Structure 1
Amino acid sequence: MRLTFLGTGTSFGVPQIGCDCAVCHSADPRDRRTRVGALVETDAGRRLLIDTPPELRLQLVAANVSGVDAVLFTHDHADHTHGIDDIRAFTARSAGPLAMWASPATASALARKFPYIFDDAMRALPGTFKPEGRLHTVEEGETTTIAGVDVTAVRVPHGFAEVHAYRIGPLAYVTDAKAIPDAAVAVLRGARVLVVNALFRTPHPTHLSIPEAIDAARAIGAERTYLTHLTHRYSHAELEAELPADVRPAYDGLTVEI
C-alpha cells in the first residue's frame, strides 16, 4: 500500500493570507501546506481519495493522479470538502458517478450543500459536464470494502462536528480530532502507519496538540507516525528536529510505502 499526502495544512493553509511570519515566507517547499487530503493506493492499483480539499485540482496535478476509484470523507467542514467539484475531471471521462463514502451525517450534509453532484434529475446541458457522485454511508464500527481495501470507521470528537477516523488495512488515518477515545484506539492499535492531526504545542479546543498527538501515537503503537493538519507556527525543519525518531511531520507530496 502507498500513501500520498496531498495536503497537510490547517483550514487557513500555509502561507496564510496576510501573514508576514518566517514560516509563511519560508523558502523550504515543505512549509507550503495546502488543505488536508490524502491518496491511498493499494497493491492492486486501486486508488482511494480521502477528502476533497479546496486545492484538490492542484494537488492531483502535482501528484500526477489521473483517476480514483472512490472518495472517503472524514467530515463535512469546508477545508475537507469544498474541492469536490474537481471530481468532474474524473466523471467526465467515466460511464457513471464516482462512489463517495461518509458517515450518515456527513453524507446528508454533502447532499444538501452540493445537490447538483448527487441529484440525478439535475443533468448537465448537452456539450457540458458536471461532477457526478453516488453517496454511500459507513457507520461507526462498521468495516466496509472500499476500492478493494477494508475500511473501518471510528468516531473521534472535534468540537460540535462528527468526524470519522479510519483504519484502512495497515494504515490508521485520523484528522481533526480533539482526542482519540479508547474505543477508537482499540480499532487503530497495531496499524503500521498512523496519520494524526497536530496543531499547537499548547491545548486547543477542537484539535490535538503536538504533545497529545505523540501520546496518541504511543497508545496506538504504530511503527511510524506522521503529523498532519499543521500550522504556520512551526516550520518543517523545526518540528523534525524536536519530534521523536518514529514521529515525523508530513508535507505536501510526501509518499509513504506501507
Structure 2
Amino acid sequence: MTITFLGTGTSQGVPVIGCNCGTCTSLDFRDKRLRSSIHIQIKDKSYVIDTGPDFRMQMLREGIKQLDAIIYTHEHKDHTAGLDDIRPFNFMQMKDMPIYGTKPVLDQIRKEFSYVFSPKKYPGVPQIITHEISNEPFEVLGTTFCPIEVLHYKLPVFGYRIHDFTYITDAKYISEVELKKIKGTKVLVLNALQIKEHLSHLTLAEALQIIEIIKPEKAYLTHISHRLGIHADIEKDLPENVFLAHDGLKITFDQCI
C-alpha cells in the first residue's frame, strides 16, 4: 500500500493570498501546501480521499492515470470542489466514477453539482455513481474502509482506517468510542492546524496528545495552516516518531496488506 499526500494545507492553502508571513514567503517546497487530500494505491486499485479545489493540479503533479473510487470525509468546499475534474477519468476508463459519502455529503454534492444529476445532462458532464455510507465499515473494490467519526466543531466528519493505516482530517474532538477504533494503527495521519487554540481544528499540542494515546509506530500531521510555522522549524521539535507531512510525500508499507 502506498499513500501519497496530494495536499496537506488548510482551506486557504499555503501560501495564503496576500500574506507576507515567514511561512507564506518561505522558499522551502515543504511550505507550499495545496488543500488536504490523499491518494491510496493498494495493488492495482487506486483511491482518493477528498477532491478539493486543487484536485486537477494534484492528479497532474502525481501522474495519476487511473482512479477507481473517491471517498469523502465531509461536505466542505475545500474537500469537494474539484469533483468536476473527474471527467478525464470517465473518458479514459469509459465508466462512471463511484463516490462514497454520508447523506449530508452526497446531498451537498447534489446541490453544488446539480448539472451532474440533471435528467437532461449536458454532454460531457461528470459521470458518477453515489454510495451512501454510515459509521460502519464498508468495502470498496475489495478494500475495507472503517469510518472514524470525529467532530469538526459541531460537524461530523469521517476519518478512515484502512488495515493498519488511519487518516483523519478536520478533527477537533474524538470520542473514546472512536479512539478505540484507531488503536493498533501503525501509521496515523492527523490534522494539526496551528499552535494557538482553534474552534474547529486540533492544535499541534492537541494532536500530539492524541498521538500519545494511540502510540502508532509513525504519525504524520496534515491540514496545516501558515500559522503553524515553517516546516523545518516545527519538525525539529517533534517527537522522533512524528513528522509534518508535505505535498507529494509518499509512504509505502507492506504490513497493511
User: TM bucket by the smaller chain?
Assistant: over 0.9
Superposed, which structure 2 residues align to 1:216-235 within 5 Å? 216-233=210-227, 234-235=229-230
Residue matched to 2:51: 52
Distance 1:185 1:93, change over 3 A: same
Could you tell me the TM-score, scaled by structure 1's length? 0.94
Matching residue's letter, 1:136: H
SS at match of 1:116: helix
Q: Is 1:134 aligned with 2:129?
A: yes
Of 81-90 and 103-112, more deviation after overlay is shown by 103-112
Of 100-109 and 241-250, more deviation after overlay is shown by 100-109
Distance 1:246 1:116, change over 3 A: same
Residue matched to 1:182: 176
Q: Percent identity?
A: 36
Q: Give the distance between the partners of 1:87 and 1:186, measured in 2 at CA.
A: 35
Matching residue's letter, 1:48: Y
CA RMSD of aligned residues (A): 1.2
Asked if structure 1 preserves the Cα contact closer than 8 Å seen for 2:73 and 2:157, the reply is yes
**How big is the shift at 1:120?**
6.2
Q: Give the distance between the partners of 2:77 and 2:184, measured in 1 at CA.
A: 31
Unaligned runs of 5+ in 2: none
**How big is the shift at 1:115?**
2.1
Asked if structure 1 preserves the Cα contact closer than 8 Å seen for 2:187 and 2:217, the reply is yes
Unaligned runs of 5+ in 1: none
Asked if structure 2 preserves the Cα contact closer than 8 Å seen for 1:47 and 1:147, the reply is no
Could you tell me the TM-score, scaled by structure 2's length? 0.95
Residue matched to 1:106: 105
Q: Is 1:170 aligned with 2:150?
A: no
Size of the aligned set, in residue pairs, is 252
Q: Is 1:12 aligned with 2:7?
A: no
Deviations 1:170-192 (A, max 9, x none): 11110000022111111111111
Deviations 1:6-33 (A, max 9, x none): 0000111111000011111111101000
Deviations 1:43-97 (A, max 9, x none): x221110000101111111111012110000001011110111111111223321
**How big is the shift at 1:162?**
2.1
Q: Is 1:191 aligned with 2:189?
A: no
Asked if structure 2 preserves the Cα contact closer than 8 Å seen for 1:151 and 1:166, the reply is yes
Q: Give the distance between the partners of 1:58 and 1:157, measured in 2 at CA.
A: 29
